[in-house]
């Protein structure tokens, strides 16, 4: 389903539009499908996209401010240092931001593109309709003459819906690419490549392999904020699907996988449990010590990132941290 709407308010309505390719009902169906598949197999897993209800988004913002969580600070510092060079090399008039969220790093790139006197359009892309509208609408006022077209969609399904035209800089920041396993990354890069013209450029933010103690601490902070964030996915399942998870019956686990070079976030059952998911007419059992995989976050070398891009026929990527 696709709809197009303008959001009234302080922004100039003529310069702010929203295209919706993913409705709340679409999301509920996808959640049901992911839960039925992920909790009906062994080992159990659930995609990390379901962390982000209102409380999950609030907790993640707190995580980005924790002393242990270096990725956000490191990426922002790199952007601030390199934004003008990025804008000059891209020579783009359109910024497309995948997984835009709160648009928190957007202004660094928009300012740099404005200084190049080329900026015409901003296209934030995310799964959350309401969050995207509230984050993107003020930019029309703050950047006079900027056209903002927000696109509500899932990058596994709707990359082809992102508007073309002009010369685009496609930004995929925050290390989100690391939440995809190698096969998913291959599909993502292939899908993205098919939407990009020869003059478009890709700005990709990745986290590099480093001291594993530092990596693990970033996903298992001393204050327990990440643990609350991880357990909140169970609250989402309770609220959305009528499940009866007891979040206190699970322990937050952050573990480095040296073979795959990624961090794994898991929830470990503290006892034998039977969970009822009412809307799916589904019962799920957990043995004491059994784990539910909720997220991977792959870490890279610059050579590996470049290799994956080249294998997809795109050797123009700008690499982040």
What's the chain's length in residues? 321
**Per-residue confidence at 77, pLDDT binned at 50, 70, 90?**
very high
pLDDT of residue 286: 98
Q: Are 108 and 82 in contact (CB under 8 A)?
A: no
- Does residue 8 carry a pLDDT above 80? no
What are the structural domains of the chain?
3-22+69-209+301-319 (3.40.50.150), 26-65+211-298 (no CATH)
Predicted TM-score (pTM) of the model is 0.89
Q: Quote the CA–CA distance of 146 and 166 in Å, as a whole number.
A: 14
pLDDT of residue 111: 96
The pLDDT of 171-187, averaged and rounded, is: 94
* CA-wise closest residue to 195 among 246, 135, 125, 257: 125
Q: Quote the CA–CA distance of 291 and 257 in Å, as a whole number.
A: 15
pLDDT tens figures, 110-125: 999 999 999 999 999 9
pLDDT of residue 313: 62
Q: How many helices (H) and strands (E) does the chain have?
A: 9, 14
- Does residue 95 carry a pLDDT above 90? yes
Q: Quote the CA–CA distance of 132 and 102 in Å, as a whole number.
A: 7
pLDDT of residue 131: 80
- Does residue 309 carry a pLDDT above 50? yes
- Does residue 9 carry a pLDDT above 60? no
Q: What is the H or E stretch that residue 239 is in?
A: helix 225-241
Q: Quote the CA–CA distance of 170 and 202 in Å, as a whole number.
A: 5
pLDDT tens figures, 121-171: 999 999 888 888 888 989 999 999 999 999 999 999 999 999 999 999 999
Least confident of 82-96, 100-114, 217-231: 100-114
pLDDT of residue 100: 86
Residue 151: other Cβ atoms inside 10 A: 25
- Residues with Cβ < 8 Å from 107, sequence gap 6 or more? 139, 142
**Per-residue confidence at 11, pLDDT binned at 50, 70, 90?**
very low
């Amino acid at each position: 389903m696709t709809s197009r709407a303008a959001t009234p308010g302080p922004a100039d309505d003529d310069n702010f539009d929203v295209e919706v390719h993913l409705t709340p009902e679409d999301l509920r169906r996808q959640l049901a499908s992911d839960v039925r598949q992920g909790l009906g197999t062994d080992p159990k897993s659930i995609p990390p996209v379901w962390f982000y209800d209102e409380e999950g988004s609030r907790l993640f913002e707190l995580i980005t401010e924790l002393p242990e969580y270096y990725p956000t600070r490191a990426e922002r510092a790199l952007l601030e240092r390199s934004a003008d060079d990025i804008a000059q090399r891209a020579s783009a008039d359109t910024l497309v931001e995948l997984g835009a969220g709160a648009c928190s790093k957007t202004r660094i790139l928009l300012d740099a593109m404005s200084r190049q006197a080329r900026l015409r359009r901003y296209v934030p892309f995310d799964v959350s309709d309401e969050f995207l509208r509230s984050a993107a609408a003020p930019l029309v006022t703050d950047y006079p003459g900027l056209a903002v077209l927000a696109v509500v969609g899932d990058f596994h399904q709707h990359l082809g819906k992102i508007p073309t035209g002009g010369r685009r800089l496609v930004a995929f920041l925050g290390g989100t690419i690391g939440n995809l396993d190698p096969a998913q990354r291959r599909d993502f890069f292939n899908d993205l490549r098919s939407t990009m013209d020869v003059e478009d450029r890709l700005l990709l933010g990745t986290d590099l392999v480093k001291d594993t103690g530092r990596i693990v601490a970033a996903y298992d902070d001393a204050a327990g904020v990440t643990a609350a964030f991880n357990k909140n996915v169970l609250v989402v399942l309770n609220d959305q699907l009528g499940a009866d998870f007891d979040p206190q019956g699970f322990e937050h686990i952050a573990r480095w996988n040296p073979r795959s070079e990624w961090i794994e976030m898991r929830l470990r059952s503290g006892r034998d449990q039977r969970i009822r998911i009412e809307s799916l007419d589904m019962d799920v059992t957990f043995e004491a010590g059994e784990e539910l995989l909720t997220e991977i976050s792959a870490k890279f070398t610059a050579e590996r990132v470049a290799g994956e891009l080249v294998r997809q026929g795109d050797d123009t990527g700008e690499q982040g941290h």
